[in-house]
């Protein structure tokens, strides 16, 4: 019986992008000193036991990663479960991104020799006495994990071991994980993976997958003397109640654990491994089968491209209308040379004496602009590197590591921008400004992150950041980011204040009564709709990759959406700013920041909708963690989009008032 499991994964991506992602990881023909590889992505050659050498390994190590679930935000280390443990073995070093994402890669007791097949080989046997409190606790934790559909994640030669099964429309989906087990409810309803076999039918019973059939595919290197390279590892989870645990034969009924079982329970873990040569798949394109197997979602490629075309067309229209209208305005204003004409000023020229008046709460705005600039540059550079293939799925944790390191190193532009604008707003408390730029926004993010980490610690989750890593993050912040922010602020304050094209009047002009559409709140709410419209489809895939543990690889498309978001935020803010200036409302600074920044509020609303409609997360801790981490993303997105809007509006206002004649 084929597994018809519900799936919601990113659609098929053209082969061109897959080649782009792995371009730099592709290996030319082996020639000493000739090849260039990404760090940690050089191919490993394998050969039979009798042919092994320093360049060609015989032993294949299988590593285990954390276990996670789509029904819980709490991942757990492999050692938290009572599975077979490795007697010895070196734990691979993890980068900062892997630690922050809660990845915990450890050696496993599963060891293979290249091209040596094994059938029903025992790994270990676990015995539980339900009368003993410790054994009962271990068994209950195992049952709870099966109930929440926790998944194993195994790694062979830096490749995920995949479980391939059929989904809708007869397509095959290759999942980089497989479940611990499954549960049949007391009403006889098969939950999750229990649908794969009709043998799972006992009510109120757990079935544990204690056996795996592993198939390792390899490609022989062209020269032949260098052995072979692994190109895929696939498994099929099975359940067997081994009658002879010391000499298992992998036959008979499945390994069931009744919810009311008592006495002694024995679970024997076994595996079978086979090797198959695949001449079609090359080492450089070995991730393709996982990415290409992802079935279509309800949102088809056509609808995504269609929305992009609409957004681009709309942006073009907005830009054209603005240029034509402004051209007429400027021509008309510049023809008013006589005194009588000057008295009849109207529209946006009328507020030229107040347009660069410092805003209220200028300190806070300048701090937000500094932090937003830091995030904007960090996002651009990270996505650019991701497009080049440096941050592909094969390079684990690289995306997060790159983002954190860039954020730390970009303290200088943050301090510089905050100082420049604070000085132009007439501010003099430079010490307060630089301290707030260094600590306000990063402090809010760290405080939220630390509270979430305390919850993870309390739950015993592997996603809890170790104390040493927290100290390292604080050291990066205090010892590198803060001094760089001070350096940027020093140069920002040292420079002369930004020169404006028009002088500011001493007495502020009274703003006339505004219509409903030109009042601040309606304008701000309307301003965030267009930018959100161009990202919400991509947002669905990003949230899927974070919370549904799906592989995200569409960085080329994401970079395109990022550019469109910047253009759309800029144009929407400029358009609304123009309408407000024509209505003689010159308070544009905060309004421009909040107009495009309001996109983050739509992001939050969508995240709430996604939680209730798409996720099956249960438990108070998981719910708090979801919304806690979402608030961090919303704050970062608010600063990012708000800064784009302000800079666009600042450029627009400076430009239009520099080309009109003002007496």
Number of structural domains the chain divides into: 3
From the list 277, 266, 146, the residue with the least C-alpha distance to 206 is: 146
Same domain membership, residue 469 and residue 440: yes
From the list 480, 607, 498, the residue with the least C-alpha distance to 546 is: 607
**pLDDT 10s digits, 27-54:** 333 333 333 344 446 788 998 888 888 8
Give 16's contacts (C-beta < 8 A, 6+ positions apart): none
Position 8 pLDDT exceeds 80: no
**pLDDT 10s digits, 87-121:** 876 778 788 888 888 888 999 999 899 999 999 99
Is residue 336, in this structure, part of any structural domain at all?
A: no
Average pLDDT of the chain is 84
Could you tell me the residue range of the domain that residue 630 belongs to? 298-326+520-662
Looking at 293, 316, 347, which one is the last position of a domain? 293
* Helix, strand, coil fractions of the chain, as percent rounded to 5: 50, 15, 35
**pLDDT 10s digits, 594-648:** 999 999 999 999 999 999 998 888 889 999 999 999 999 999 999 999 999 999 9
Same domain membership, residue 377 and residue 303: no
Same domain membership, residue 309 and residue 229: no
What one-character DSSP code corresponds to residue 480? I
Same domain membership, residue 315 and residue 232: no
The pLDDT value recorded for residue 153 is 94
Same domain membership, residue 370 and residue 259: no
Looking at 293, 318, 348, which one is the last position of a domain? 293
Question: Of 103-107, 378-382, 402-406, where does mean pLDDT reach its minimum?
Answer: 103-107
| Contact between 240 and 255 (Cβ < 8 Å) | yes
Is residue 5, in this structure, part of any structural domain at all?
A: no
Is residue 24, in this structure, part of any structural domain at all?
A: no
- Residue 522, CB-side half-sphere exposure with 13 Å CA sphere: 8
Q: Read out DSSP for 226-246?
A: T-EEEEEEEEEEE----SSSS
Same domain membership, residue 205 and residue 309: no
From the list 101, 240, 212, 100, the residue with the least C-alpha distance to 156 is: 212
Question: Of 37-41, 202-206, 299-303, where does mean pLDDT reach its minimum?
Answer: 37-41
């Amino acid at each position: 019986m084929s597994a018809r499991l519900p799936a919601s994964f990113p659609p098929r991506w053209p082969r061109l992008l897959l080649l782009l992602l792995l371009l730099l990881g592709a290996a030319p023909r082996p020639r000493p000193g000739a090849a260039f590889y990404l760090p940690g992505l050089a191919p490993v050659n394998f050969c039979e036991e009798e042919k092994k050498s320093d360049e060609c390994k015989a032993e294949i190590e299988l590593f285990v990663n954390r276990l996670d679930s789509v029904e819980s935000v709490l991942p757990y280390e492999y050692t938290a479960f009572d599975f077979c443990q490795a007697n010895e073995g070196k734990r691979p070093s993890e980068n900062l991104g892997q630690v922050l994402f809660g990845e915990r890669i450890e050696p496993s007791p599963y060891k293979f020799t290249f091209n040596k097949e094994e059938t029903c080989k025992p790994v270990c046997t676990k015995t539980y006495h339900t009368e003993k409190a410790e054994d009962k606790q271990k068994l209950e934790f195992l049952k709870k994990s099966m109930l929440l559909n926790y998944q194993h994640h195994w790694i062979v030669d830096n490749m995920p071991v995949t479980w391939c099964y059929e989904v809708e429309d007869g397509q095959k989906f290759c999942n980089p994980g497989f479940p611990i087990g499954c549960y049949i409810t007391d009403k006889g309803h098969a939950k999750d993976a229990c649908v794969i076999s009709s043998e799972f039918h006992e009510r109120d019973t757990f079935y544990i997958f204690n056996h795996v059939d592993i198939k390792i595919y390899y490609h022989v290197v062209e020269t032949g003397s260098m052995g072979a390279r692994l190109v895929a590892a696939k498994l099929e989870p099975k359940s067997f109640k081994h009658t002879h645990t010391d000499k298992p034969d992998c036959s008979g009924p499945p390994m069931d654990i009744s919810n009311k079982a008592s006495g002694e329970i024995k679970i024997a873990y076994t595996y079978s491994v086979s090797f198959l040569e695949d001449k079609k798949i090359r080492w450089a394109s070995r991730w393709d089968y996982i990415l290409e197997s992802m079935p279509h979602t309800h949102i088809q490629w056509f609808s995504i491209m269609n929305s992009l075309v609409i957004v681009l067309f709309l942006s073009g229209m907005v830009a054209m209308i603005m240029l034509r209208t402004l051209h007429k305005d400027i021509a008309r204003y510049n023809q008013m040379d006589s005194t009588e004409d000057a008295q009849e000023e109207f529209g946006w020229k009328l507020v030229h004496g107040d347009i660069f008046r410092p805003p209220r709460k200028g300190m806070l705005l300048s701090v937000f602009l500094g932090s937003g600039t830091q995030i904007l540059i960090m996002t651009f550079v990270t996505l650019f590197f991701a497009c080049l293939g440096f941050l592909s799925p094969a390079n684990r944790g690289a995306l997060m590591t790159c983002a954190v390191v860039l954020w730390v190193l970009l303290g200088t532009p943050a301090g510089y921008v905050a100082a420049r604008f604070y000085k132009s707003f007439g501010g003099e408390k430079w010490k307060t400004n630089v301290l707030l730029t260094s600590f306000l926004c990063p402090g809010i993010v760290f405080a939220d992150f630390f509270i979430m980490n305390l919850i993870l610690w309390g739950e015993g989750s592997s996603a809890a950041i170790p104390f040493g890593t927290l100290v390292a993050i604080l050291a990066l912040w205090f010892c590198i980011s803060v001094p760089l922010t001070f350096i940027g602020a020093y140069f920002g304050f040292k420079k002369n204040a930004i020169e404006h094209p028009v002088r500011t009047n001493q007495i502020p002009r009274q703003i006339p009564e505004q219509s409903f559409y030109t009042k601040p709140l309606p304008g701000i709410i309307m301003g965030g709709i267009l930018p959100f419209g161009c990202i919400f489809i991509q947002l669905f895939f990003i949230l899927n990759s974070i919370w549904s543990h799906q592989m995200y690889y569409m960085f080329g498309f994401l970079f395109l959406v990022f550019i469109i978001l910047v253009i759309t935020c800029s144009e929407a803010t400029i358009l609304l700013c123009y309408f407000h200036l024509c209505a003689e409302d010159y308070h544009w600074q905060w309004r421009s920041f909040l107009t495009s920044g309001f996109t983050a509020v739509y992001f939050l609303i969508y995240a709430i909708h996604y939680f209730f409609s798409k996720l099956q997360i249960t438990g108070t801790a998981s719910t708090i963690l979801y919304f806690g981490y979402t608030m961090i993303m919303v704050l970062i997105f608010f600063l990012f989009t708000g800064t784009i809007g302000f800079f666009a509006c600042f450029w627009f206002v400076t430009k239009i008032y520099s080309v009109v004649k003002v007496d």
